[in-house]
Amino acid sequence: DGRFSRRDLLFSLTSTESYLDLNAQDLEFGFNETKRDRILRTYVRNSYSYHLNEIFSTLKNEYTDWEK
């Protein structure tokens, strides 16, 4: 009925503020797959010790827009 936005929303909690690491264009329009993959790889490398490729592949799958 028009009261709710028809946009996807990603919501998460972090222990530190990260929005300062992104520029205005990234915040408004998102970022391309190359930048997404770089961010995910860095996150996985800094957060996990084992099965890094499997974790990265799972995250990449979850954050891929399959309707494009």
Tally of domains within the chain: 1
Q: Going along the chain, which residue ranges are E strands?
A: none
How many other CB atoms sit within 10 Å of the CB of residue 2?
5
Predicted model pTM: 0.64
pLDDT, one tens digit for every residue, the chain (68 residues):
566 666 666 667 677 776 677 888 888 888 888 988 998 999 999 999 999 999 999 999 988 888 87
Looking at residue 4, what is its pLDDT? Answer: 62
Q: Identify the pLDDT of residue 21.
A: 76
The end-to-end CA distance of the chain, in Å, is 26
Task: Identify whether 59 is part of a domain.
Answer: yes
Give the 3-state secondary structure of residue 23.
coil
In a domain, residue 49? The reply is yes
Nearest CA to 25 among 17, 38, 35? Answer: 35
Q: Give residue 46's domain range.
A: 31-63
